[in-house]
Each structure stands twice: as C-alpha cells, then as structure tokens.
Amino acid sequence: MGDHASYYLDKKFLVVEGRPKFIYYDTSAHDTLDIRGKKMTYDDSIKKASVYENVTVAKGKLFTRSEVAFYYPDSGRAQLRKIPRIAFETDSLSGDSVDLSFTKSHLQRVKVNGSSHGQYKDFGTADTTLTHLFGDSISMFLTDSGKIDSMWAIGNVKSKYFPLKNPLSTNEAYGKLMTVRFNARGEVSRVKVWGNARSIYSVEEKDGRGRNEASGDSITVSFAKGKATHVKMSGTVRGFYAPLPTLPKAPADSGIQEKAKPATKKEVSP
C-alpha cells in the first residue's frame, strides 16, 4: 500500500511511492512482517520487492534499519544493504551487509558480513553482563519460538564481555572461529573458540583476585548464571595465572594508605 502507485503491464513491474509499506500477516506466529521506506518496487516476474531510503523491517522482536532492502516473498529471504543495523530485543548486530532467512514465516537466521559486530546482554540475578563480538562475519540462529539458539563468528574473531557493575573486569577471547550457545532462558551457556585460540579471564575468589591467560588450538568455556565456571583447553596448551595486587585496609583513623602487595606470576605448561 501507499499514496500512489504505477504498474507496468508489459514488464509486470510495480512502483509504489508516498509512504509505501509492505505487510505480511502471520496468524500462526501472532506477529506481522512490516516493511517500510520512501520508495518501493515489486518485480512480479522474479517475485522481488525492493525498498529504498530509510528502510525499516519489523517482525516480532526483530527491528532493522538500512538504506536499501530486498525481499523475496516466495523464498523468505531479505537482504539489507547500505549501513544496516539490527535490534533483537536488547541485542544488536551491524556490519556491511545483512541477510535474513525466514522459514514458515519464522525468522530462522541472521547473517552479517564485513566488519561484523554483535552486542548482547545476559541478565543475571545479581548483575548484567555485556558482551561484544567481532568477526569478518557473524550468524545468529533462532528457534521457532523466537529465542536465540546460538551465534557463530568467523574470521578475526574477538569477544569481550564484562559485568556492568564492574566494567574493568573484562574477559576476552580471540581466534579464527567462535560459537556461542544459549540456554532456554536466553543465557550464555558455552563459548568455544578454534584456531590459535587465546583467552584472558579475570578470576574473583574469596582470598583475592587474579588474571588468567591461556592459549591453545581450541578453548571451551562453560557458564552458569552469567559467570565462567569451567575452562577447557586442547592442543599445544600454554597459560599462566597472575594474582593482582590487593590493598589491605588501613585503620579508619590512621590516615595512612598502605602500599599494594606486589603480584607474582606463575607459568604453567602441560
């Protein structure tokens, strides 16, 4: 629909202008695919809709914005071009180009190519963890119920995550390929990195805190309630743990600030 339209009979080509929008009602999923822009065309011969300028695509928890978008109703594919941005509830994705895949009207996969950046939040009971994921390409897979099942990052992968209450406690992972798995509650359950994998984790314990660095052919990290619980490394493993300096508490009325204890560093190798 739109304010005015022209249909070319010989080419089977439709041009809609004046607040055009394409709407697909999905009664089974109880949400609607809504595509809007400044100009819209539809090629009936190849079943392709093209939208230009200030393009938005909304369906359920998904909302995207770009300057150009192509939609193929028969195959359920959508392509976002020119500064595409994606929001999925509190998570977001961006890159040079974005491809969306729908199966039976459900969003099944989001793939970002070129300068890919993903950001997602893990809402724990005590704090919220913010994760940044970078790579040459990132794919996000969803279940039929609309929840994130997993994310894949390929090429020059880097992951950084930290609790919002303590942003200086940053944990990092690097490699060539990374997968992030989510549980039924939408929390990160496992992260695995392959190819010159390297990880840097902050360790908080009752008797102190420290920094753990490790490398290997692959690294697997298991999570519970937003915190890393187990780290498993395979192939040419090396690493070290360095306790960080702690400041002992001085008497409240002494007016003296004691110096930090020096840190020690322990090398470990298999």
pTM for the full model?
0.74
Same domain, 104 and 216: yes
Return the structure tokens found at 115. 């300068």
43 and 176, same domain (yes or no): no
CATH of the domain at 143: 2.60.450.10
- In Å, what is the CA distance from 205 to each residue of 25, 165, 171, 219? 53, 17, 15, 22
Q: Please answer whether residues 94 and 112 qualify as being in contact, where contact means their C-beta atoms are separated by less than 8 angstroms.
A: yes
Classify burial at 14, counting beta carbons within 10 Å of its beta carbon; exposed 0-12, middle 13-18, buried 19 or more: middle
Task: Give the E-state strand segments of 61-186 in sequence order.
Answer: 62-72, 77-81, 85-88, 91-94, 97-103, 106-123, 128-142, 148-163, 171-182
- Same domain membership, residue 219 and residue 94: yes
- The answer to whether residues 188 and 159 touch, using CB atoms and an 8 Å cutoff, is no
Claim to verify: residue 149 and residue 226 sit in the same structural domain: yes
Residues 93 and 157 in one domain: yes
* Same domain, yes or no: 103 and 201: yes
For residues 118 and 190, membership in a common domain is answered with yes
CB contact set of 270 (below 8 Å; sequence gap of 6+): 237, 238
One domain for residues 229 and 132 = yes
Same domain, 50 and 96: no
Integer CA distances (angstroms), 23 to 104, 193, 259, in order? 16, 40, 66
Q: How far apart (Å, rounded) are the C-alpha atoms in residues 113 and 107?
A: 18
6 part of a folded domain: yes
Indicate if 179 and 97 belong to the same structural domain.
Answer: yes
Of 11, 30, 61, the position where a domain reaches its end is 61
Are residues 90 and 198 located together in one domain of the fold? yes
Q: Which structural domain range is residue 129 located in?
A: 84-239
10, 27, 61 — which closes off a domain? Answer: 61
Assigned domain for 203 exists = yes
The total domain count for the chain is: 2
User: What six digits make up the tokens of 260?
Assistant: 């930090």
In a domain, 245, yes or no: no
Residue 71 lies in a domain: no
In a domain, 79, yes or no: no
Identify whether residues 113 and 190 lie together within a single domain. Answer: yes
Q: Give the dihedral sign, CA 58/64/70/75.
A: negative
pLDDT tens for each residue of the chain, 270 residues long: 899 999 999 999 999 999 898 888 766 656 788 899 999 999 999 999 999 999 999 988 889 999 999 999 888 899 999 989 999 888 889 999 999 998 766 788 999 999 899 888 877 677 777 888 999 999 989 887 778 888 899 999 998 887 777 777 778 889 999 998 888 777 778 889 998 898 887 776 666 677 788 888 998 888 776 667 778 888 888 888 777 776 555 555 555 554 545 545 545 444
